[in-house]
Amino acid sequence: RRRAWFTGVTASGFSRPLGFAWLTGGSIRFRLYSAFGLSAVEIAQVVAFAGLTVWIGVTSLAGSVLALAPHDAAEVFSLPLWAIRAIGIVVLALPLGYVVVVHLRRRPIHVLGWRILPPRPRLALAPWAFGVADWTVAAAVLRVLLPPAVHVSFPAFLALFVIAQVAGLVSHVPGGLGVFESIIVLALGQTVGAPELLGSLVVYRVTYYVLPFLVAATSLAVYEGRERRETVSRVARTISRWVPAFAPRVLAVITFLAGTVLLVSGALPAAHGRLRMLGELVPLGVIEASHFLGSITGVGLLILSWGIARRLDGAFHLTVALLGGGIVASLL
């Protein structure tokens, strides 16, 4: 169960922002589940079941809202009530038909040469519950982030959210980026300005897409690092042999560039607004002295870069001290 949770969270963290869930999330599931001992057929069943969970949740929510609360949906879509209710009934028939099939048919279903065994009724209800809960929570997160000026009921917003998400999934744009936002702005832009809506959508993207992606990428990197300890150790040993040869030269170049920046900064005229602000805080003599000290520090760093390239300890310590003084001079 721990491995299943790890694989599911990691695959979902990649598939949501990158799109093409069957390719991104599916490849990660194949990589991890094959390492855990599952066959290719079993992994394909898991991937199909995960995709089924997504679409069961989408169709259940959209159909329920459109069929049972058409008045709320009419606030957003500006369609006749009968049309909204009819669309909801058609959409809701898909998950209901799925449940009926798994309860009534126990023999395999043959589709285009594929032999599909319906899941057990108890197992079939699990994706329904999890899918509906997942999409409802995602919609609630965005609803909380919307500006207070947006006055729309949660059922109506839930229908809008699901339709926008489906449009993003069908477009196969990574994470539905741009497609999802355009539908939300077009539907709610009449009550509140587009900049406010886009700000909420950006925060939602970070919360629901970027952060899970970073967690998934970190988890996968840690897992691969543990699985390949010997390779990582060998690379680390190779790097440790090369670093002592290149580090002094790299630090010398950086020190030389820092000295050059200080000299150029001291030679260029200062911004009048900054001088006026500093003149109110410190005496003019301190400002002029800081420019002079910055130039002296720049010359010192140019000279010390030669000593760092030759690995002189004294040059290193003097460089650290001069860089501290250069920071103060640059701030002034």
pLDDT tens sequence across 22-75: 777 788 888 888 888 888 888 888 888 877 777 887 888 878 877 877 776 666
List all residues 6 or more positions away from 256 whose beta carbon is below 8 Å from its beta carbon: 301, 302, 305
Note the pLDDT of residue 45: 81
What would the DSSP string read from start to end of 233-285? HHHHHHHHHHHHHHHHHHHHHHHHHHHHHHHHHHHSPPPHHHHHHHHTTS-HH
Q: What single-letter amino acid sits at 330?
A: S
Backbone angles phi, psi at 78, to 5 degrees: 55, 50
Q: What single-letter amino acid sits at 218?
A: T
* 144 CA to centre of own chain: 19
Note the pLDDT of residue 286: 64
Q: What single-letter amino acid sits at 43?
A: I
Burial, 28: exposed, middle or buried (Cβ in 10 Å; 0-12, 13-18, 19+)? buried
Note the pLDDT of residue 75: 61
pLDDT tens sequence across 95-106: 888 778 777 777
Note the pLDDT of residue 80: 78
DSSP 208: I
Note the pLDDT of residue 285: 64
Note the pLDDT of residue 54: 78
Give the residue carrying structure tokens 């650290």.
320
Note the pLDDT of residue 60: 82
Tell which residue, 324, 317, 331, has the closest CA to residue 277: 331
DSSP 207: I
DSSP 107: S
pTM: 0.59
Note the pLDDT of residue 326: 65
Taking 70 as the pLDDT cut, the residues of the chain under it are 72-78, 172, 231-232, 235-236, 268-289, 326-332
3-class SS at 50?
A: helix
Q: How far is CA 282 from CA 96, 105, 278, 289, 326, in A?
A: 75, 85, 6, 11, 18
Note the pLDDT of residue 74: 66
